[in-house]
Amino acid sequence: MTLFIKNMVCDRCIMVVRQQLESLGLSVDAITLGTANIHPDPDESQLSHLTSMLKVSGFELINKEKDKLIERIKNVVIEIVHQGDLSEIQGNIMTSIADRLCKDYAYLSRLFSESEDTTIEKFIIQQKIEKVKELIQYGELNITEIAYSMGYSSSAHLSAQFKSVTGMSPRQYKSCGDPSRKSLDKV
């Protein structure tokens, strides 16, 4: 059985969900962001208990096909932006999303916009900005290097987009004493 789980955004999420499934006596065959293949199929009691356990940890079981696809879109974007190297993506992120989900991008875009009250493009930008904030805080790369690694055409493009989203330049963000970042499931 494949479970679809909302708000899984990192390896720690995978670890927590695996532990919760195994604590109910379920074997995990495979687990990725947003999905877990398990056996045996949980009974009603286990499913109810699992739903409660997941909710306490900030996760949620997804049952509707539309919601499953929306969560898969989010997880693909998070994987591409936070775990990949955007400078190496052939083409653009939108094409990569459509290819990975084997769906037409126009269909995915319309579905996402209807469900999330934002576009996939704006969601990607929000994720990229959160990753840029993280890289700025680490202090290992300069803005030009960050811009390149995040797939921006120039540091000026990154700075303009950063300022339009956060209201401050990357330099101002770096120098402020209390930089604010959002958790990935809140973006």
Q: What is the mean pLDDT of the chain?
A: 89
Contact 47, 53 (CB under 8 A): no
Contact 2, 34 (CB under 8 A): no
Number of Cβ within 10 Å of residue 133's Cβ equals 20
List pLDDT tens digits, range 34-52: 999 999 999 888 989 999 9
Does the pLDDT value for residue 22 go beyond 70? yes
Strands across the sheet with 60-62, in order?
Answer: 27-32, 35-39, 2-6, 60-62
Contact 50, 61 (CB under 8 A): yes
Alpha-carbon gap, residue 40 to 151, rounded angstroms: 43
Q: What is the band of 139 on the pLDDT scale with cuts at 50, 70, 90?
A: confident
What's the Cα-to-Cα distance from 186 to each of 22, 25, 32, 160, 178, rounded to whole Å?
A: 27, 31, 19, 23, 19
Q: Which domains does the chain have, with CATH numbers?
A: 2-63 (3.30.70.100), 64-187 (1.10.10.60)
Contact 28, 21 (CB under 8 A): yes
What's the Cα-to-Cα distance from 129 to each of 1, 47, 136, 176, rounded to whole Å?
A: 36, 37, 10, 16
**If you count them, how many residues does the chain have?**
187
List pLDDT tens digits, range 49-102: 999 999 999 999 998 899 999 999 999 999 989 887 676 675 688 888 999 999
For helices 120-138 and 93-101, angle between their N-to-C axes, nearest 10 degrees: 110
Torsion sign (Cα): 113, 115, 118, 121: negative
> Which residues lie below 8 Å from residue 46, measured CB to CB, with a gap of 6+?
24, 25, 26
CA angle 59-60-63, nearest 5°? 155
Tell how far CA 66 is from the center of its chain.
Answer: 17
